A and B are shown apart, each in its own frame.
Chain A
Amino acid sequence: MEFSLSPKQQELVEKARAFTKEWISPNAAKHDRSGEFPLEICREAFKQGFMNPHVPAEYGGTPHRVLDHCLILEEMCTGCSGIATAIDANGLSQYPVILAGNDDQKKRFLAPMTDELMFSAYAVTEPEAGSDVSRVRTTAEKVGDDYVLNGVKWWITNGSVASWYFVLARVDDKSTGFIVPADSPGVIRGPKEINIGQHASNTVRVTLEDVKVEAKNRLGEEGDGFQIAMKTFDHTRPGVASGANGITKAALNIALSYAKRRRTFDKKLISNQGISFKLAEIMTRLDAARYITYKAAWLFDEGFDNAREAAEAKWFAADVAMQAAIECAQVLGGYGYTSEMPAEKLIRDAKIYQIYEGATEIQKMIIVGKLMRMKEVH
C-alpha cells in the first residue's frame, strides 16, 4: 500500500496549484459577481494542458490517469469550483465518445478539441429527469438513415459555448446516445440559468426541435445509451468528489489562516477549543474524503469496477465540503456571513456537489445496490 504521490504526480499538483493561484483564485470573486464565462482562463488552461484530460493520445490528447486528474481538480477547485467546472466540463461529454465512439467519431469530435480551444457538453438531464436518467423523454425518430431529435435538455453545463453535445434520447423506447453538433438546425440554446453558486459555470437549457442527426453520429447501438451514461459517471464521479475536496481544502485553509490571526478574549481565536476542534474535525473529514476519492480513482485506473467507491466518494466528499464551508463561515463569525469574504461563496458552491452528477441519495442507492449483491463485507 502506497500513500505518497509519485514525483510526476507531485509535479502535476504543483503545476495545477501555480495555475490556480495565478489564474483561478484572483478571478474567482469577479466571475462569481458577474457570472461571466471564464473564457480567458479556459484559454490559458488549454495552453497549459488542463483541458480535455481524457482524450487518448492517438487523437492528439495527453491523457491523465483518473487519479492524476483528481489531483489537478482538487487544486483547481480550491481556487473556484465554478471556473474549474467550466474548464473540466469537456471531460464529462467527451467520455461517452471515448467509451463508445468509433474511430471516425473520435477523429471528428475529439481530435479537433486538442488542436484549439473548444467546448462540448453532456446533455442528459431534462426538466422531468434529473437523477432518474431512465426517465428522459427526448425522442429520436428514425427517418431514412437519419434520426430526428425532439426534446428539452436542462441545466446543461457549458451549453452556451459547446460545439457539440452528447445527447441521450429514446429511439422506440430504447435509450440511445447521440453526438449532436451545436450548429445543427433546430438546436436552441436558452439563457444562462441563475444558480445560487458556481456562477462562472455556464448552465443553460438546450431545446432540440426537429434536429436531424446523421446515423453516423449515434454512439454504439440503439439501446446502449443508458449504459454509456452510467459508465461515464464511474469515470467522472471521483473527479467530482475531488472538486468537493478542493472546496473543503479552501474552507479549511481560510478558517485556519483566520483563526491563527484573529484575536478574541485576549488570545488567538484558534486557542479556543470550540474553534480548534472544528478545524481538527474538518481536517479529519478531508483526509477521509480524499482517501475514498483516490481509491475510487485508482480502482478505475487499474481496470476494476469502481461504481460503489465512486458513489461513496461523491456523496461523502460533497457532504464534507458542505459541512466544511459552513464551519468556515462559523469560524469567521460575522465576517463569514458577508459576501466580501470567501466563506459564503464556498457555501453556495459546495451545495451543488450534493446534487449534480447524481444526488447524494442516488449515490447511497448505488452503494446499497452493491451491498445487496454482497454476502458479507470484508
Chain B
Amino acid sequence: MISDLRKLTAKIAECFKDRYYGRTFRCPVCHLELAVVDVNGNRLMVCPVCGVVLDVEEVYGHAVPVVMGVEVHRPQPKTRIHPLATHLPIGLYPFAVLGAGLLLIASILGPVMPGLAPLLDRAPVLADATLVLLVLSVGFSVVTFFSGLRDWYRRYRRRPYAQIRLKIAFSVIFLILGVLAIALHASGAAFSAATGLVDLGSPLAMALAALEIAVLTAGMVVIATLGHVGGTLVFGR
C-alpha cells in the first residue's frame, strides 16, 4: 500500500517534471538540475544558483556542459522581500489545514464521544482561526508572487529557468486553490458558522467539507513543492 502510494507519487512528480523541465542535465558545479530547453541559441546558460556560464552541447543525446566562466557579480534586490514574504504563507498554511482537519475529526467524533463536549464548544473559535490563517496565508502569497517576479527580473535577469516556470504556474494554482478554500470556509456551508462543525445530517455539508479538505490538501502539496523548488534555487541540489 505504502509502496503503491510512493510509486503513484513518483509518477505524478515525474509527469510534472516532464511538463516543466523536459530533458535535463546537471550543473557540473552545484549539481542543480537544469532544463536543456533553457539553453539559449548560442548554447549558453547561466546556472541560477552558482552563476557559472555553461556552454551546453548535445552529444548523442547526452548534454555535455563546459564551464566557460563565472558570473561573479549578481545583482541582489535592495530589500529582500521574497525570502521574507515566502515563509509566511508556508508557515501559516499548514496550521489552517490542521485546523480544518481537526474540525472535521471533531464533527465525526463529537456525537460518539460525549466527553469532547467542552472542547466542541470552542469549535467556532478554531473555525474562525482557520479562516484567518487561510486569508493571511493566501493574501501573503500574492506578495510572495510579485516579489518573486521582481527577483527573477533583477537577480536572474529574466532568463528562462524551468524552476521559475514551475514556481509561477504553481503559485497561480495555489492562489486558485486558496481562494476556493477561503470561499468554502467563509460561506459556512461546509463548516457551520454557528457551531464550527460539519452538519453530519446534511449530505451537501459533508460533501463540501470533503471538498474543502481535498482543496486544502492539494494546496499543501503545491505549497510544499513551491518551497522545495525555491529552496533548490537558493541552495542548489
Contacts and interface: CB of A to CB of B under 8 A. Distances in A.
B26 A257 contact: no
Given A261-B66, A262-B66, A263-B68, A335 B60 contact: no
Nearest to B69: A263
Nearest to B26: A340
Interface stretch (A3-11, A19-27, A55-63, A115-123): A19-27
B21 to A, nearest CB: 11
A250 interface: yes
B61 A257 contact: no
Interface in A243-257: 249-250, 253-254, 257
Given A338-B28, A340-B27, A254 B59 contact: yes
Contact of A21 (B61, B65, B67): B61
Interface string B164-192: 00000000000000000000000000000
Interface string B52-80: 00010101111011111000000000000
A20 B25 CA distance: 17
Contacts of B23: 26
Interface in B16-72: 23, 25-28, 31, 55, 57, 59-62, 64-68
B59 to A, nearest CB: 5
In the complex, which of the residues B23, B57, B61, B68 has the most CB atoms of chain A within 10 Å of its own CB atom? B61
A250 B64 CA distance: 11
A78 interface: yes
B28 A20 contact: no
B62 A340 contact: no
B60 A25 contact: yes
Contacts of B55: 261
In the complex, which of the residues A26, A29, A253, A258 has the most CB atoms of chain B within 10 Å of its own CB atom? A26
Contacts of A341: 28, 64-65
Interface string A235-273: 000000000000001100110011001110000000000
Contacts of B62: 25, 28, 79, 250, 254, 342
A357 to B, nearest CB: 24
A28 B26 CA distance: 13
In the complex, which of the residues A250, A253, A257 has the most CB atoms of chain B within 10 Å of its own CB atom? A257
Interface string A51-91: 00000000000000000000000000011000000000000
B153 to A, nearest CB: 29
A25 B23 CA distance: 10
A319 B71 CA distance: 41
B64 A254 contact: yes
B57 A257 contact: yes
A347 B25 CA distance: 19
Contacts of B28: 335, 338, 340-341
A342 B61 contact: no
Contacts of A250: 59-60, 62
24 contacts: A17-B60, A20-B61, A21-B61, A25-B61, A25-B62, A28-B62, A29-B25, A249-B60, A250-B60, A254-B64, A257-B57, A257-B59, A257-B64, A261-B55, A261-B66, A262-B66, A263-B68, A335-B28, A335-B67, A340-B25, A341-B28, A341-B65, A342-B62, A342-B64
Given A26-B61, A340-B27, A342-B64, 13 more contacts: A20-B61, A25-B62, A78-B60, A250-B60, A253-B59, A253-B60, A257-B59, A258-B66, A262-B66, A262-B67, A340-B31, A341-B65, A342-B62
Q: Which 9 pairs show the lowest CB-CB distances between chains A and B?
A: A25-B61, A21-B61, A340-B26, A261-B66, A257-B59, A26-B23, A253-B59, A342-B62, A78-B60
